Amino acid sequence: MSPQKQAARTLNGPATAIIKGVFANAAQPPAPHRTLTDAGRSVAIVGDLLGLLSDQYFKAGKKYASMLGTAGRVFWGIVELSVPGSIGVHLMRHWLKLATALAVSMILLGIFFGGTGVAPFGWKLLAVIVGVALLHRILYGYMLTAALPTKLVAAIVTVAAIGGLIWLVAAYGDKLGADLIWLHQLPQHLREGWHSLKCGC
């Protein structure tokens, strides 16, 4: 006797709806807020783990592990204060305005009244505020539109590169100048050394 053919199994309505929902959710891009939150939390956790490992195996890396963990927590906090439509956005912008006013006041006091170290600290504070404000704007735009503002990111990268170059020249200008002079004279030194080897003098 030939085996009976089994009838094809069909899913009922609720089961079909569940499977369709699973595939529909899997096809959607991840929520920007959750993505950024997970990124900040991951960096903080990795920094804490590296700090624990540094205590046991490499104490010199404790400082950098702590910095990594702190950076992750700061980024995480800025993400939470950049969620569109939340009260954190208004608080963030309010405190940024107050901090900017404080930094400008310190700069002006240092310039006009000659307070030692007041103006430099004001400039540093203003630079930090600008960096935080730009990061806040990028995160806010990304969570609002699920797309990075490419023009703003490109402008920030350009400004950071120019600022880094200016800082290198200001901090290590003398050393860089000496190195450039040495590189310029390197072919001449190589020719003189080769001539000395050939003539044996």
Identify the pLDDT of residue 138: 86
Cβ–Cβ under 8 Å, residues 125 and 106:
yes
Q: Within this chain, do residues 47 and 101 fall inside the same structural domain, yes or no?
A: no
Dihedral sign for Cα atoms in the order 71, 77, 78, 80: positive
Q: Within this chain, do residues 144 and 154 fall inside the same structural domain, yes or no?
A: no
> Domains in the chain: how many in total?
3
Residue 17 domain flag: no
Q: Is the pTM of this model over 0.95?
A: no
pLDDT for residue 1 is more than 50: no
Identity of the residue numbered 151: K
Which range has the top average pLDDT, 10-24, 121-135, 147-161, 176-190? 121-135
Q: Which residue range(s) make up the domain with 64?
A: 30-80
Residue 1 domain flag: no
Last residue of a domain, one of 133, 148, 163: 148
| SS3 readout for 56-110 | HCCHHHHHHHHHHHHHHHHHHHHHHCCCCCCHHHHHHHHHHHHHHHHHHHHHHHH
Q: Within this chain, do residues 141 and 183 fall inside the same structural domain, yes or no?
A: no
Residue 7 domain flag: no
Q: How far apart are CA 164 and CA 179, in angstroms?
A: 19
Residue 139 domain flag: yes
